[in-house]
Amino acid sequence: MTKQFPIDILSQVQKPARYTGGEFGSIIKTAEDTKVSIVLAFPDVYEVGMSYLGFKILYHILNKEEGVAAERVYAPWVDMEAKMRENALPLTSQETGKTLRDFDFVGFTLQYELSYTNILNMLDLGQIPLFSKERTDEDPFVIAGGPCVYNPEPLADFVDFFIIGEGEEIIVELMDAYKQWQSEGLPGGRSEFLQRVVRIDGIYVPSFYDVEYLPDGKVAKVKANNPMAPAVVKKRVVKDMNTISFPTAPIVPFGEIVHDRIMLEVFRGCTRGCRFCHAGMVYRPVRERKPELLKQLARELVDNTGYNEISLVSLSTADYSCLAPLIHDLITELKEEKVSISLPSLRVDSFSVDLAKEVQAVRKSGLTFAPEAGSQRMRNVINKGVTEEDLMNAVGAAFESGWSTVKLYFMIGLPGETDEDILAIAELAKAVQYKYFQVTGHRGAKVTVSVSSFVPKPYTPFQWKGQDTIEEIRRKQMLLKDALKVKNITYQYHDSVTSVIEGVFARGDRRLGKALYLAWQRGAKFDGWSEHFSYSRWLEAISDCGLDKAFYANRDRDIDEIFPWEHIQPAVSRAFLWNEYQKSLREELTEDCRHGKCSGCGVCPNLDVKIIDWKEQGHDEAKN
C-alpha cells in the first residue's frame, strides 16, 4: 500500500479505497529498473477511470517495456481534494505515491469534453504549471490522447503534445525517443525534445502551430511555425489487432467500479456510418480479432481476475462476424465456473433471440436496443438503417422467449427533427408495450425510454450543423415527457445544460482555453457530474473572455468554413462527410462498406489499412 494519504485523512472521506493503491495486479517497478516514468492520468473519479479499457491497455503496454514504469492517478473526489488542499498534500500516483511533478510524463485521457477542468485541477494538485509555456526543464511533459483528441484545440495552451489515434504502437516509440534523448544527456532541454517527438507520425505539438482568425471570429488558417511540424497530423492506426498485446492480468480494484467485469475488445472500428457518431468515423476501419485469440484471452482473464462476467466490447459488438460461435464456445467452456457473457447493447436488425438466450443462460437481465430515433424518416436522416419492423420482430421474439423488460435508447435535437419525430419516440415505446400484449395476451411489459441530447462532433457529417438551443432542448424533453405518461413506461433524460457546454468545446478553437482556465479558477470541476456543474459559471467565463457560446454551439457552419481541427486528421475526407450531410437532407441511406461497396470515406487508402473480417477471411483461406 502506498503512503499517499495518512489514515486519519482516509477515514474522513468517501470510498477511501479510491486512494490507497496496492490493488491486485498493479505493477510497481524499482527506481533501478526505471529509466523513464509516466503516470497515466484519468480526469475523473477512480470508479470511472478504472472502467476505461484504453487505460488498462496502455498501462499493460508501457509496463511491458524494459526501463519504463507506468503508474496511475485519478481525479480525487471533492471531499479528498478539500483535505489535500487543507493539509498541503500533493496529488500522487497509486503505485508508489510519487508526486505528479516528479514523473517524466503525465498522460491524460480525453474521454469527454466536460472533464477538461479536472485536467487543470489535477495539474494544479500535482504541482505542475498549468500552461505549457510556463513549464521548465524540471517539469514533466504533459501529454494527452483519447477520443476527444480529434479536436484538441481548447486544450492547446495546457498540453505539451497530443497523441493522435490508437496508442499501442506510438506510445512505445515515444518512450524510445525519450530514452535516446536521455542517454545523450537531455540536450537542448524541453524544446529539443519537442523537436524530436514532432517527427513521430501521429504527434501534434500545438505550440508549433499558429492560428489566424477572420474579423467575424472564424478560423482563417492554421499554419505550422516550425519547419519540423507537418501541415497535417494523421492519426495512428493499428493495422492488425491480432499483433497487439492485450492485458490479460488487469488490475482488480478493492471496491466496486462502474464496469466491474472483464472487458474483452473483440474488434475496433465501425462502418455502419451513423451520421451523428464521432467514434464510428474516427475509429475506422473495422479490424477484428481472431475468435481463437479471443477465447485464449478470455480464459487467461478469468483465471487472472476472478471476475464472473465477461463483457464483449466494441462500438457495435453484434457486428462481430464470428459472434454466435464465439459466444457458444465461451459459454460452453465457462458455464460451470458460473462466468456469464454480456453484450453492451443489441442492434435491432441483427438481434438473435437464440443468441440472447445463450448470453443470459447464466445471468438473466433485461434487453437493451438503440433505435436512436422514433420515426423512420429520422432514422434515414441519421443513416441508422433499421426499421420499426426490425424492432418489433426483435422485441416480439424476446417476449415470446420470456423477456418482459426492454430499454430503448434515443436521441433528440437531431438535425431536421420535427415535433412529429419527437412524438414518434412515444408511439414506438407504446408499440413495444402493445407487442408484449399481442405475444403474451396480457399486459405488464416494462419499457424504459432513455433520451440524450444531440451534440454535433468534429469529423461527422453533422459537424456543419448547429446544436439546438437549451430552450429548444428543454421544450422537446417536456413534449416527450407529456407523451410518455403511460403505466410501465419509464422516461429518462439527461441534463440539457451539460450538453450545451459539451457542444461548445466539441467544436471550439484554442481561444476557449482562456474560458476553461477562468471557469476552473472560479471553481469548475467534475462538470460531467450534475451536482457540481454550474451553467451560469460557464456562461460567465465564456462571456468574460469575449467569446460567444452560440458562435460555437448553435451556429450552422458554411460549406467552405475552415474548422479549427482540420490539421488533425482521422483520414475521413471532408468531401465524404459533406456528401453524407447532403444525403441526410435528402433522407438517403449509405450502405455499410464492410459488406457492400466502398463508400469513399478515404480511410483505407489514406492510412494504408484494410478491413479485417474473420468470417470472410476464413472463407477466403478455405478457398486457397
Q: What is the largest CA-CA distance in the chain?
A: 79
Is residue 622, in this structure, part of any structural domain at all? no
How far, in Å, CA of 124 to CA of 203, rounded? 25
Is residue 197, in this structure, part of any structural domain at all? yes
Query: What's the sign of the alpha-carbon dihedral 396, 397, 401, 405?
Result: negative
Element (H, E) at 359: helix 353-359
How far, in Å, CA of 92 to CA of 37, rounded? 13
Domain boundary among 217, 234, 251: 234
In a 10 Å sphere around its CB, with 0-12 CB exposed, 13-18 middle and 19+ buried, how is residue 391 labelled?
buried
Domain boundary among 202, 234, 266: 234
Q: Could you give the C-alpha distances from 620 to 323, 416, 536, 616, in angstroms and in order?
A: 18, 43, 59, 6
303 or 403, which is more confident?
303
C-alpha cell at 473: 432542448
CB 447 within 8 Å of CB 388 = no
How far, in Å, CA of 274 to CA of 88, rounded? 48
pLDDT of 3: 56
CB 445 within 8 Å of CB 489 = no
Cβ burial 208-229 (10 Å sphere, 16+ → b, else e): bbebeeeeeebbeebebeeeeb
Q: Give the CATH number for residue 499.
A: 3.30.750.200
Phi and psi, residue 211, nearest 5°: -115, 130
Percent of the chain residues past pLDDT 90, beyond the cut = 87
Q: Could you give the C-alpha distances from 413 to 104, 373, 524, in angstroms and in order?
A: 44, 10, 26
Average pLDDT over residues 133-152: 97
Residue with C-alpha cell 487467461? 300
Is residue 602, in this structure, part of any structural domain at all? no
- Report the mean per-residue pLDDT for the chain: 94
Is residue 260, in this structure, part of any structural domain at all? no
The confidence band for 232, taking pLDDT boundaries of 50, 70 and 90, is: very high
How far, in Å, CA of 223 to CA of 144, rounded? 21
Indicate whether 481 pLDDT > 90. Answer: yes
Cβ-based neighbours of 62, under 8 Å, separated by 6 or more: 38, 40, 68, 70, 171, 172, 175
Is residue 356, in this structure, part of any structural domain at all? no
Q: What is the pLDDT of residues 416-470, one digit of tens each?
A: 999 999 999 999 999 999 999 999 999 989 999 999 999 999 999 999 999 999 9
Phi-psi region of 281 (alpha: psi -120 to 50; beta: other; left: phi over 0): alpha
Q: What is the pLDDT of residues 24-62, one digit of tens each?
A: 999 999 999 999 999 999 999 999 999 999 999 999 999
Short-list 32, 103, 153, 59, CA closest to 507 = 153
> 143: which strand partners?
107, 161
Q: How many helices (H) and strands (E) does the chain have?
A: 22, 19
pLDDT of 2: 45
Is residue 539, in this structure, part of any structural domain at all? no
Hey, what amino acid is at 288?
E
pLDDT of 385: 87
CB 291 within 8 Å of CB 322 = yes
Average pLDDT over residues 187-200: 97
Is residue 241, in this structure, part of any structural domain at all? no
What DSSP letter does each residue of 560-580 carry, written as one string? TPPPTTTTEE-S--HHHHHHH
Element (H, E) at 473: helix 470-483
Domain boundary among 201, 234, 267: 234
Indicate whether 519 pLDDT > 90. Answer: yes
* SS3 state of residue 204: strand
How far, in Å, CA of 396 to CA of 434, rounded? 10
CB 227 within 8 Å of CB 205 = no
Asked whether residue 29 falls in the same domain as residue 171, the answer is yes
CB atoms within 10 A of CB 252: 16
How far, in Å, CA of 222 to CA of 413, rounded? 31
Range 124-129 contact pairs with CB under 8 angstroms and sequence separation of 24 or more: 125/76, 125/81, 125/84, 125/85, 125/90, 125/91, 125/100, 126/73, 126/90, 126/91, 126/92, 126/99, 126/100, 126/101, 127/90, 127/91, 127/99, 127/100, 127/101, 128/100, 128/101
Cβ-based neighbours of 514, under 8 Å, separated by 6 or more: 545, 547
The single-letter DSSP state of residue 69 is E
Residue with C-alpha cell 472500428? 269
When divided into structural domains, the chain yields a total of 2
The confidence band for 622, taking pLDDT boundaries of 50, 70 and 90, is: very low
How far, in Å, CA of 580 to CA of 361, rounded? 41
Element (H, E) at 211: strand 209-213
pLDDT of 605: 95
CB 552 within 8 Å of CB 545 = no
Cβ-based neighbours of 482, under 8 Å, separated by 6 or more: none
Q: Give the CATH number for residue 82.
A: 3.40.50.280
The confidence band for 218, taking pLDDT boundaries of 50, 70 and 90, is: very high
Hey, what amino acid is at 287?
R
Is residue 538, in this structure, part of any structural domain at all? no
CB 164 within 8 Å of CB 568 = yes
Indicate whether 195 pLDDT > 50. Answer: yes
Domain holding 471, by residue range, is 366-511+547-590
CB atoms within 10 A of CB 258: 13
C-alpha cell at 268: 475496433
Q: What is the pLDDT of residues 99-118, one digit of tens each?
A: 999 999 999 999 999 999 99
pLDDT of 365: 67
Q: What is the pLDDT of residues 239-258, one digit of tens each?
A: 999 999 999 999 999 988 99
